[in-house]
Structure 1
């Protein structure tokens, strides 16, 4: 299985496979119809406290954000559920709303899911 990460505001692509929004809050200005989601998995999003802390200085805090977010995901049963849901698909696309495409929680989550799936079998990340 391949795990992709894309902004939810980008037009859906037929090759997206299973499309999962991984934000705690619904993206502003986007209708549910336009999002074309298969699932909205709020449970794997960073906690409100961590998200607020990170957004005050994203560039300087990303490394620490990643460490804290991984710690939140360690005990989160939604990670296993999401990995298992995606394991039967050829492609899983994690969707997020933040503008930063280089430093965001969906990229961290993708890496966590890849590690989880590699322990159970084979996967790749794009």
Structure 2
């Protein structure tokens, strides 16, 4: 099975599997019905201070990643996510959903990398 990170605005597909929103704030312009979520783990998203500091500026991404990983090390929600992935991934795909326009510089990409490293 596969672990992916995808924008929440991407139309859901039958093979998506288990869909987890990893944003602290609800994404603009999408209803909860149309999100087709299985879980919203808002606590695993970056803190408001870190999110505001980053501002989705690709030039700040490397430092954002360091700071976010430091937050995750102290965040029980990350352990909850890790356990959920460990439980679900053997039998179904998992998609980490996010609202950011930038598909390469966001917390879901970092979470995916961390989780993949944890299960190697």
Q: Unmatched 5+ residue regions in structure 2?
A: none
Q: CA RMSD in A?
A: 1.2
**2:2 alignment counterpart:** 2
Output one character per residue of 1:45-102: Cα deviation in whole Å (capped at 9) or x when no partner.
00000000000x6121000000000110112121121121122323110000000011
**What is the distance in 1 between the residues matched to 2:84 and 2:61?**
28
1:2 to partner: Cα distance: 2.2
**What is the distance in 2 between the residues matched to 1:83 and 1:74?**
12
**2:75 alignment counterpart:** 76
Alignment map for 1:1-126 (pairs within 5 Å): 1-55=1-55, 58-89=57-88, 90-118=92-120
Contact 1:7 1:98 (C-alpha < 8 Å) held by counterparts: yes
* Further displaced range: 88-97 or 4-13: 88-97
Contact 1:7 1:97 (C-alpha < 8 Å) held by counterparts: yes
Q: Unmatched 5+ residue regions in structure 1?
A: 119-126
Task: Give the TM-score normalised by the residue count of structure 2.
Answer: 0.91
Task: Give the TM-score normalised by the residue count of structure 1.
Answer: 0.87
How many pairs does the alignment contain? Answer: 117
